[in-house]
Structures are given as C-alpha cells and as structure tokens.
Amino acid sequence: MKKIAVFASGNGSNFQVIAEQFPVEFVFSDHRDAYVLERADKLGVLSYAFELKEFESKAAYEAAIVELLEEHQIDLVCLAGYMKIVGPTLLAAYEGRIINIHPAYLPEFPGAHGIEDAWNAGVAESGVTIHWVDSGVDTGKVIKQVRVPRLADDTIESFETRIHATEYQLYHQVLESLGVGRR
Ligand code: GRF
C-alpha cells in the first residue's frame, strides 16, 4: 500500500476530499493557523505544522520536512494548495515522488493565481492539471489534465467553483492511477 502525505497552506478542501477517499498518513502545513489543520483534526488525520520563518534557512526547513517523510516512510507527496516553491533539499530527497495540483490547463496560467489569471484573460475554457514537481513553478511533467469551460453566465465565483469541483475529481483519478489504495 502506497503511503501518502498531503501538503497544504490554507483552506485544505482538496486535502479533505483526498482524505475522505484515501488513507492519508499525515498532512503538513507551512502555516500553524491554517484551516486545513482543523479539517485534519475532524477527520482524525495526523497533522504537522511549522513555518519557514522558524528556521535559519529554507534548506533547514525542508530538511525537517524530509525527516518527517522518511520517518513515516512516505511514498508519494501530494501538494494541494501548498503555496511554497519546492526547493533543492526536498527535491533531492523526493523528486519523482511529489505531485501538485494546479487550477489551470498548464502550461497556460502557471503561478499562484491560475483561476483569476484565466478569468481576466477572458478564455473560453481553462482547466485543471496534476503534474510531477520539478524545480520550476508549475513546469513538471503533466500526469493528467482536463478542460473546464467558462460558461456565458459565469461569474468568477461560479467559474472558480467549477474548477474546484474538477480538482477534487482529478485528484481522485490520479491517485487511483498511481496505485494509491482506497480507504
Ligand atoms: C487549489 O485550487 C489548488 O489547485 C491551488 O490552491 C487551491 C487550494 O485549495 N494550488 P484548497 O486549499 O485545497 O481548498
């Protein structure tokens, strides 16, 4: 059975959907007050949180993360709203075992505002992508991506809701395709 950890910085709705369907060994947040930690408590999922500013360097921060991953013998790290760029320390230990979800159809609209950027560009369709993580920002090899239309009567809120609903389905499909067993 593959053991997964989920990394999230804030809300954690993707984490919640993943954890309802798959056994999550632990969730990690880089913000001690992130709402995802409350979700983890309610679901009975182990959580860890510490912040980059508590360490003398990003390398030391990531070394602490690697220690947790190794201690729990994690096979796959699922980034889901983890808002930091993965640095060389974490990549050196786990490259090829880290995936990320992005709320746009990469390589369109990379970066932290994929939904808003697509909306502001007036596209007829955007999408959702799950990809392997490399040293770039949303540049790793695509595992799976799907298109999401922008409908004529959409507001940015309804467009965003449709993107998120698509994210939840895509994470599920990709975890199954990577051989992560269901609960
Ligand atoms: C998602 O849209 C994800 O694609 C992006 O950040 C958002 C996180 O949402 N990277 P949540 O924390 O899972 O609710």
Q: Give the atom of ligand 1 at the shortest distance from the alpha carbon of 112.
A: 10
User: How many of the other CB atoms lie within 10 Å of CB of 98?
Assistant: 24
In which region does residue 44 sit, left (phi positive, over 0), alpha (psi from -120 to 50) or beta (all else)? left
Would you call 102 a catalytic residue per the annotation?
Answer: yes
In degrees, rounded to 5, the angle at the alpha carbon of residue 31 between the alpha carbons of residues 42 and 38 is 10
Residues 13, 8: Cα–Cα separation, whole Å: 9
Instruction: Give, using CA atoms, the residue closest to atom 10 of ligand 1.
Output: 81
Q: Is the CB of 62 under 6 A from ligand 1?
A: no
Residue with tokens 């993707």: 14
Residue with tokens 């990531």: 62
The verdict on pTM exceeding 0.95 is yes
> 46 to each of 16, 25, 35, 66, 173, how far by Cα in Å?
13, 7, 14, 16, 24
From first to last of the 183 residues of the chain, give the pLDDT tens digit.
Answer: 899 999 999 999 999 999 999 999 999 999 999 999 999 999 999 999 999 999 999 999 999 999 999 999 999 999 999 999 999 999 999 999 999 999 999 999 999 999 999 999 999 999 999 999 999 999 999 999 999 999 999 999 999 999 999 999 999 999 999 999 888
Residues 126, 148: Cα–Cα separation, whole Å: 5
Structure tokens at 68: 């947790």
